[in-house]
Amino acid sequence: MTPIRTGIAFAITVAAFYAICALAWVLAPGPFLGFMNNLFHGMDFSGMVQPRPFAWAGFLMALIILSFWALLAGSFFSWLLSRLTR
């Protein structure tokens, strides 16, 4: 398990799950909001929702930032794990 390969695998995983999450929001915003409210122990996120069209630029920017962060986190995890298991 090399740091860069682990980082890339984690970045791809995060990107895929972010895309699935965004797709769920676009296809069914009401049920998805209910799911998120239940996921976070009944917190009500409906006050944060603003009616606006889907923005590809915002989606792509978040996808890039999350993927880069996951690359760094996965690489660091692999590096740290190799140091701790010696």
Under DSSP, the state recorded for 75 is H
- The residue length of the chain stands at 86
Three-state DSSP at 60 gives: helix
Contact between residue 81 and residue 3 where contact means Cβ atoms under 8 Å apart: no
Q: What is the pLDDT of residue 1?
A: 84
The answer to whether 46 and 30 are in contact (CB under 8 A) is: no
Going residue by residue through the chain (86 aa), what tens digit of pLDDT does each one get? Answer: 899 999 999 999 999 999 999 999 999 999 999 999 999 998 998 888 888 888 999 999 999 999 999 999 999 999 999 999 98
pLDDT, position 47: 87
Residue ranges covered by each domain of the chain: 3-47+54-84
* Three-state DSSP state, 4: helix
Q: How far is CA 81 from CA 44, 68, 71, in A?
A: 38, 20, 15
pLDDT for the residue 53: 87
